[in-house]
Amino acid sequence: MKLAFVLLVVAAVASTTLAKTVPKSGKKSGLPMELVSAFFGKFPEKKAPEGRKLNPRFVEDRFTVRVNHFDPQNRDTFEFNFLWSDEYYRPGGPLFIVVGGHHALNPYFMEDSHFKDVAALQGAFLASNEHRYFGTSSPVPDYSSENLRFLRTEQALFDLIEWIDFLRREVMGDPNARVILHGFSYGGALASWARQRFPNIID
């Protein structure tokens, strides 16, 4: 009886929390991030110190992918943000990618992490992407329940793989470059799933 009462209270609190995340009609909201935060807590995002500028060797760009990779009748596309840097790259070096997760694009792990140090030692090309629905990489005009159907891991993985192919061929000029993925939290999970799903592409 006590257990049932506790579960009822937890359900009520969760419902109240999620209700606050519902966006107003016609306006975007941070719904995906708020949903994650409601269940798992807010992730402490790393921010650059005040007055600090983006590394001048970093290039900001956008890449176009399909909104739905699995419906040939749906030709809608959108652009997601990404960063790349050839500061440490040596011809023949690998492609190191910081996989985007449930947050806006953040250069922190390309600038101030051990991953950057390893990239420098290995002569790697560095890049990082922004996950669909986060930051300004939105495939839909609003975050209604209907539009959230494209917020799926499989869609994000194909965004990642198509972008990797573009980086190797068009930016690095080395279609056979080895690819090493790195990520934290959900981004780390995506990195692992990509390695499992595409072992012929991800090293």
Q: Taking the CB of residue 195, how many other CB atoms lie within 10 A of it?
A: 15
Check residue 121 and report its DSSP letter. Answer: H
The type of residue at 116 is K
Structure confidence by residue, pLDDT tens digits, 6-15? 444 444 444 4
Structure confidence by residue, pLDDT tens digits, 36-87? 444 444 444 444 444 445 576 789 999 999 999 999 999 999 999 999 999 9
- Give the pLDDT score at 54: 58
Residue that the structure tokens 């190797």 belong to: 168
- How high does pLDDT run on average in the chain? 81
3-state secondary structure of 35: helix
Structure confidence by residue, pLDDT tens digits, 156-193? 999 999 999 999 999 999 999 999 999 989 999 999 99
Supply angle C-alpha 160, 165, 168, rounded to 5: 120
* Tokens, residue 64: 């176009």
Q: How far apart are CA 22 and CA 128, in angstroms?
A: 29
Q: Taking the CB of residue 124, how many other CB atoms lie within 10 A of it?
A: 25
Question: Could you tell me which residue, 116 or 37, shows the higher pLDDT?
Answer: 116
Domains and CATH numbers, the chain: 58-198 (3.40.50.1820)
